[in-house]
Amino acid sequence: MAKLILKLWAVTFLIAMVTAPAMADPTDIQPEKAQNSSAYTPVVTPNGSTLCWKMVDGVKEFHLTVEEVEWEVAPGMKIKAWGYNGQTPGPTLEAVEGDRVRILVTNKLPEPTAVHWHGVLLPSGMDGVQGLTQKPIMPGETFAYEFTLKQHGTQMYHSHGDEMVQMGLGAMGFFIIHPKTAPTKIDRDYAIFLNEWFVKPGTSRPDPNVMTDFNLFTFNSRAFPGTAPLLARPGERVRIRVGNVGQEFHAIHLHGHNFKMVGTEGGDIPESAQYPETTVAIGPGQTRDFEFTAVPGDWAFHCHLRHHPMNAMAHDIPNVIGVSQEGVEEKIQALLPDYMAMGESGMGEHSEHAKHMQGPANTLPMMGGEGPFGNVGMGGMFTVLKVHEDVPDFKDADDYTKQVKLPGDFGWYKNPAGTVAELAPGYENQLTKEGTIYTCPMHPEVRQDKPGACPKCGMTLEKEK
Ligand SMILES: [Cu+2]
């Protein structure tokens, strides 16, 4: 009897081996990219990547693994996030309307999950809502989602199990579906995922319980000065897609251009209804696509909520603008020798101090970043659209993300003569005229009659009181 059972088991096992669908490990997937570039311009996800797929029996098969990832927000700060395939946001899925897709999802989290294909029209049972449309994907399990793409546009994917924690830790990504035939040719196509986080300075685990007072604001989970620039050549047609499944609204603003709103997560905006903007408000659960013709220059691209192009700051510090700090510094230095009184004349000096003062471990100074004219004094949701003549053609999206990582990459715009704001001729510096002396807060022996930087530490000199 035991022999018979063993035989039956062996036969069943063999049949299972032969008939089992190809449940490949992500590492087995050959780099057969969505590179049908005659039909569309591949999307670049700055600081991110595009997921490779392989064709299995006429179906484009993708493999996502949801797992803990160590992620660099900007040089000097890493977080322990939850993402897909080693990154947050997860790699961008890219396909074409009409494709049949199969997405294998392996759960390497310590708790159950499910993946929702946000905005994608599909059978209810493939919608990825844990408990409602499917069983949870238990740790270690791999689920297959399979459906035919009936639309095109900028869609997203994200966890739909323990959402506050899983999405709060970064489990999200783009799902971009190209039209079979595009009405206009796009030269550069970029995708930027917004998110906000709270990471207590000195720690690395984002706190998903924080509901309102976030201290990190990111484009593709990177904060300035860790954000890659968007490159284009003058006159090129550029599309930017922005996605948000966070907790807050953002007002994404581009300098130097009037762009046209061309799509939402619900699909194309008909040409007759497209409208001009310079700032697009984008709420949780929304995507927005806009297009423009690139104008030469280095153009700021950022969230316009004024705390969002900034990094970790303590929001509960007292407001000391215009309040004399005379004597305060000395008193506190008796207890904390490194203490510096700041904020009397505004927060701008903070970005200077950040260059030479040791902050807490694993956090980012409130603002910083070197530009061609000095400190940019920004952080968070901020990057630069660089429209330069000498921007190269990149082989594909991977080639771009490997070569373009930080704001200074590919240089700065060479302004034609006479097109940069300068000191107005004939106007003397009012402060110098009145005989003001400028000193360094760290090196009082440095004294001069002109504003400038301390030759010893580089800090901006302050008016002597
Ligand atoms: Cu914002």
Q: Where are the domains of the chain?
A: 20-185
CA distance 335 to 342: 17
Provide mean pLDDT across the span 132-145: 98
Give the predicted TM-score (pTM) of the model: 0.82
* Predicted pLDDT at 315: 55
Task: Answer yes or no: is pLDDT of 320 > 50.
Answer: yes
* Predicted pLDDT at 119: 97
* Predicted pLDDT at 185: 86
Confidence of residue 9 (pLDDT cuts 50, 70, 90): very low
The rounded Cα 106 to chain-centroid distance in angstroms is 24
Confidence of residue 231 (pLDDT cuts 50, 70, 90): very high
CA distance 128 to 143: 10
Tokens for 363? 């956090």
Among the listed residues 106, 104, 116, the one whose alpha carbon sits nearest the alpha carbon of residue 140: 106
What sign does the dihedral 192-196-201-206 (CA atoms) show? negative
**400 Cα: distance to centroid of ligand 1 (angstroms):** 26
**304 Cα: distance to centroid of ligand 1 (angstroms):** 6
**395 Cα: distance to centroid of ligand 1 (angstroms):** 32
**347 Cα: distance to centroid of ligand 1 (angstroms):** 19
Task: Answer yes or no: is pLDDT of 8 > 80.
Answer: no
**196 Cα: distance to centroid of ligand 1 (angstroms):** 8
Q: Tokens 């699909």 correspond to what residue?
A: 267
* Predicted pLDDT at 433: 65
* Predicted pLDDT at 356: 55
**66 Cα: distance to centroid of ligand 1 (angstroms):** 26
User: DSSP letter at 28?
Assistant: G
Beta-ladder partners of 58: none
Q: Among 36-50, 69-83, 356-370, 434-448, name the most confident range.
A: 69-83
CATH topology of domain 20-185: Immunoglobulin-like (2.60.40)
**422 Cα: distance to centroid of ligand 1 (angstroms):** 31
Q: H or E stretch including 191?
A: strand 188-197
Plot region of 271 (φ>0 → left; ψ -120 to 50 → alpha; else → beta): alpha
**382 Cα: distance to centroid of ligand 1 (angstroms):** 10
**149 Cα: distance to centroid of ligand 1 (angstroms):** 31
**205 Cα: distance to centroid of ligand 1 (angstroms):** 21
Report yes or no: 167 and 243 within 8 Å, Cβ to Cβ.
Answer: no
Q: Tokens 């002396």 correspond to what residue?
A: 437
Task: Answer yes or no: is pLDDT of 19 > 60.
Answer: no
Report yes or no: 260 and 275 within 8 Å, Cβ to Cβ.
Answer: yes
**252 Cα: distance to centroid of ligand 1 (angstroms):** 7
Among the listed residues 172, 153, 174, 158, the one whose alpha carbon sits nearest the alpha carbon of residue 96: 153
**293 Cα: distance to centroid of ligand 1 (angstroms):** 25
**145 Cα: distance to centroid of ligand 1 (angstroms):** 33
Burial of 232 (C-beta count, 10 Å sphere; 0-12/13-18/19+): buried
CA distance 75 to 98: 41
CA distance 87 to 72: 10
**261 Cα: distance to centroid of ligand 1 (angstroms):** 19
**244 Cα: distance to centroid of ligand 1 (angstroms):** 10
**134 Cα: distance to centroid of ligand 1 (angstroms):** 34
* Predicted pLDDT at 118: 98
Task: Answer yes or no: is pLDDT of 71 > 50.
Answer: yes
Lowest mean pLDDT among 5-14, 273-282, 447-456: 5-14
Question: In terms of pLDDT, which residue wins out, 318 or 65?
Answer: 65
Strand stretches in 75-168, DSSP E? 77-84, 93-96, 100-107, 115-118, 142-148, 153-159
User: DSSP letter at 393?
Assistant: P
**221 Cα: distance to centroid of ligand 1 (angstroms):** 13
Report yes or no: 136 and 161 within 8 Å, Cβ to Cβ.
Answer: yes
